Amino acid sequence: MIVLGLPKTRNTILTNNDIFRRIRYTFDLKDSTIVDIFALAEVSVTQQQVTAWLKKDEDDALSP
């Protein structure tokens, strides 16, 4: 059984960014749309922040 593209295992740990990436992919959201969604919640984020959140954890350019 595969859930959210993950292999069957009980020890799979998803980070907030993993979930965020899956939501973005599922709804085919662009970075600018995500910024707009945050604005609706009265949270100010930039496209650069969104891009950093969506980078794979293995990416060397991942911001802290």
Instruction: Judge whether residue 63 has pLDDT over 70.
Output: no
Residue 14 lies in a domain: no
Residue 52 lies in a domain: yes
Domain count for the chain, please give it. 1
Q: Which domain holds residue 51?
A: 29-64
pLDDT digits (tens, 9 = 90+) for 17-61: 888 999 999 999 999 999 999 999 999 999 999 998 888 766 555
Give pLDDT, residue 3.
Answer: 55
Question: Coil, helix or strand for 3?
Answer: strand
Residue 5 lies in a domain: no
Residue 15 lies in a domain: no
Answer for the pair 34, 17: CB distance below 8 angstroms, yes or no.
no
More confident position, 37 or 1 = 37
